[in-house]
Amino acid sequence: MRVSKFNNMYQLTLWPNFFPVNCYIIEEQHELILIDAGMPASFKGIVNLLNKLEKPLTNIVLTHAHGDHVGSLIKLKKEYPEACVSISKRDSRLLRGDKTLDEHEPQTPIKGGVPNNLEIVPDRLLKEGDQVGLLEVVETPGHTPGSISLLDKNNKAIIVGDAFQTQRKIAVCGQLVPLFPFPAFATWNKEVSLDSAKKIQQLDPEILAVGHGKVLVDSKKHIDRAIVEAETKMNKDF
């Protein structure tokens, strides 16, 4: 597993040259926060880094409920039973395998692999503005109805799950990247995704950390370009 460090954020990448799957560890003064749980094969690398950092893991936060973001969750919870598992209230339903839509939501099918009634109950259900350590929850639906991002205001960094991808090129989720199309295939609603991308843009992050691909530093110009490309493509489609 490849490990890259950006200020107090560690990116852990499984299969970096083939199918990069990222999770993140945030090192705060007295604790560690894990963002996403990757694939089952991510478990060993996550535990190795946690042991090296020698601080307690207090929180496991899931940006959304797709299988490549929750793959080692059960093993991690058994290894660290005191860690608080958090996810948005909306995506907690996906953890149970419930793909039904609410009446007010766009009636496009929820896509991507979700657990078949994952045998774990979240300890905390997150909403806009909640804090996990020094991280602020930002609701960024689109890839799934309950996708969230985590904003570190001190370092102007944001971990966005699959709201963007940077593998092969930066793109708003739902926009097809031919050499790495998988996030697009698993996106619930492209229009909602674009709205969330613009919300992230307004936060003006300097560091963009994604579920698939490298961390982007000085990310504003890249985010702007991806949004323009997504808008242009969607306008053509209409």
**Tens-digit pLDDT profile for residues 38-93:** 999 999 999 999 999 999 999 999 999 999 999 999 999 999 999 999 999 999 99
What pLDDT does 116 receive? 84
Q: How far apart are CA 137 and CA 131, in angstroms?
A: 6
Comparing CA positions, the residue from 25, 43, 46 lying closest to residue 34 is 25
What pLDDT does 172 receive? 98
CB-based contacts of 157, cutoff 8 Å, min separation 6:
6, 7, 9, 151, 205, 206, 207, 208, 209
Could you tell me what percent of the chain has a pLDDT over 90? 94
* pLDDT tens per residue, range 4-33: 999 999 999 999 988 999 999 999 999 999
Q: How confident is the model at residue 108 (pLDDT cuts 50, 70, 90)?
A: very high
**Residue given tokens 């969750």 in the structure block:** 73
Q: How confident is the model at residue 238 (pLDDT cuts 50, 70, 90)?
A: low
Q: Please report, as a single letter, which amino acid is at residue 236.
A: K
**Residue given tokens 């242009």 in the structure block:** 232
What pLDDT does 106 receive? 97
Backbone angles phi, psi at 236, to 5 degrees: -65, -40
Q: Which residues pair with 208 in a beta bridge?
A: 158, 216
The secondary structure element, H or E, covering residue 225 is helix 220-237
Q: Does residue 136 surpass a pLDDT of 90?
A: yes
Going from the C-alpha of 53 to that of each of 50, 73, 233, the distances in angstroms are 5, 20, 44
Q: Which residues pair with 60 in a beta bridge?
A: 34, 85
| Interval 90-106 mean pLDDT | 96
**What tokens were used for 173?**
């989720």
CB-based contacts of 97, cutoff 8 Å, min separation 6:
114, 115, 116, 117, 118
**Residue given tokens 């593998």 in the structure block:** 167
What pLDDT does 83 receive? 98
Helix (H, G, I), strand (E, B) or coil at 48: helix
What is the residue extent of each domain of the chain? Answer: 2-237
* pLDDT tens per residue, range 156-196: 999 999 999 999 999 999 999 999 999 999 999 999 999 99
Instruction: Please name the fold of domain 2-237.
Output: Metallo-beta-lactamase; Chain A (3.60.15)
Beta carbons of 173 and 162 less than 8 angstroms apart? yes
Phi-psi region of 38 (alpha: psi -120 to 50; beta: other; left: phi over 0): left
pTM, rounded to two decimals: 0.97
Q: Does residue 200 surpass a pLDDT of 80?
A: yes
